[in-house]
Amino acid sequence: MARLWVCAAGAAVLVALAALHSRFRGSPVLRSFTFQTAWRTEEVLYRLDVNWPEYSEYFTGATFCVAVDPLNGLVYVAQRGDNIPKVLVFTEDGYFLRAWNHTVDTPHGIFAASALHEQSVWITDVGSGSYGHTVKKYNSFGDLVQVLGTPGKKGTGLNPLQFDNPAELYVEDTGDIYIVDGDGGLNNRLIKLSPDFQILWLHGENGTGPAKFNIPHSVTVDSAGRVWVADRGNKRIQVFDKVTGEWLGAWSDCFSEEGPSSVRFSPDGKYLIAAQLRLSRLVLVAAPPVGSLGHCAVISTVQLADQVLPHLLDVSGESGAVYVAEIGARQVQKYVPLNS
Ligand SMILES: *[C@@H]1O[C@H](CO)[C@@H](O)[C@H](O)[C@H]1NC(C)=O
Ligand SMILES: *[C@@H]1O[C@H](CO)[C@@H](O)[C@H](O)[C@H]1NC(C)=O
């Protein structure tokens, strides 16, 4: 019991900070701000960093996604809107560095490849303009390096690769690429590409059975060689062997209320961190060690204010900080682990 009390206090602090930090002061959304019980379980693991970023004025659109390059200490944010910069680059300390919008139409997902001598960022674009329905690689300054897909044309073809609302991607240090396609388009695919963009394996069927998808929305790879996919429409996470593509299992117990929109791991591999968009909730699930998946067990939840709408998130592999792109609140917030 004592432990629970401590946690309840922690929750109150966190919600208060979240409110203070809110960027929609005075807006209609703020007025409907309701304070809900923040931590429904025993452990408070993160606190909101109210000083990140230094100036929030750079968020001028709907912030759909965020990616951390921990090696170079960079945070990339992509936002949607008219006549605004689409990609914002900050430092992990919260300083704004630069922005660009050329060749970015309607960003959905983003991934920062963390290499010592190469700073690059990948974006999935769901726009219908001439750069839409592609997966693009940029250098850190916004120069376009690579385009995958058929620009401006959505579709179900595979040769050349054709996407329909590509949702997100994950790039391994080896250069292997995992793409989830997509966000409610005609395709429901998980594709693994080699570093020279050949298809290594894919699962491509719409449906509810094993290895089928309904809005595969986010993808990540763990250190045990497993690929984790937020199968949002099916309210589950599915897991695959990264080498063979073999289906290893699925978790649905933790997501009966709403499917996960985002999936990432803490750097120590202990927690899987998921977002639930419409519930405005972050969920920390105990990550299973190597081998069988076992059952899904929620360790902690962070209840954000109503209408914050956390869409996609990323975790710094160095500090363990969690950056959350909130479409409704039109901002990215940073949560730091309490025990760091
Ligand atoms: C690109 O961003 C600049 C501000 O950085 C803005 O003035 C311009 O209108 C934007 N262009 C587009 C096409 O959104
Ligand atoms: C996929 O299946 C679901 C039902 O399982 C359906 O709602 C959805 O429209 C289907 N999507 C496509 C692209 O066929």
Confidence band, pLDDT 50/70/90 cuts, at residue 91: very high
Atom of ligand 2 nearest to the CA of 184: 13
* Closest ligand (CA of 131): 1
Mutate to test the pocket of ligand 2, among 156, 188, 206 (most ligand atoms within 8 A of CB): 206
286 in contact with ligand 1, CB cutoff 6 A:
no
Residue nearest to atom 13 of ligand 2 (CA): 186
Mean pLDDT estimate for the chain: 88
Work out the angle at residue 334's Cα, subtended by the Cα atoms of residues 72 and 298, and round it to the nearest 5 degrees.
115
Residue bearing the CA closest to ligand 2, atom 7: 214
pTM: 0.88
What is the predicted pLDDT for the residue at 56? 94
338 CA distance to ligand 2 centroid (A)? Answer: 41
With a cut of 50, say whether residue 23 has pLDDT above it.
no
Per DSSP, which regions of 115-235 are E strands? 119-125, 134-139, 144-149, 166-171, 177-181, 189-193, 199-203, 205-206, 212-213, 216-221, 226-231
Q: How far is the CA of 214 from the centre of ligand 2 (A)?
A: 6
- Kindly give the distance from the C-alpha atom of residue 185 to the centroid of ligand 1, in angstroms, as a whole number: 28
Give me the percent of the chain exceeding a pLDDT of 70: 87
Cβ-contact 304, 281 below 8 angstroms: yes
Ramachandran region of residue 213, left (φ > 0), alpha (ψ -120 to 50) or beta? beta
From 80, 84, 102, 105, give the residue whose CB has the most ligand 1 atoms within 8 Å, as the site to mutate: 84
Q: Sheet containing 177-181: which strands, arranged edge to edge?
A: 166-171, 177-181, 189-193, 199-203
Tokens in use for 250?
Answer: 């699925």
Place 340 in a pLDDT band, splitting at 50, 70 and 90. Answer: low
Give 127 Cα–ligand 2 centroid separation in angstroms.
21
Instruction: Give me the phi and psi of 215, to 5 degrees please.
Output: 65, 70
Q: Could you tell me the distance, in angstroms and rounded to a whole number, from the CA of residue 30 to the centre of ligand 2? A: 35
Instruction: For residue range 239-291, list pLDDT tens digits in order.
Output: 999 999 999 999 999 999 999 999 999 999 999 999 999 999 999 999 988 77
101 CA: nearest ligand 1 atom: 1
pLDDT of residue 8: 33
Residues 317-329 have a mean pLDDT of 97
Pick the CATH number of 40-337 from 1.20.120.80, 3.40.1160.10, 1.10.2020.10, 2.120.10.30: 2.120.10.30
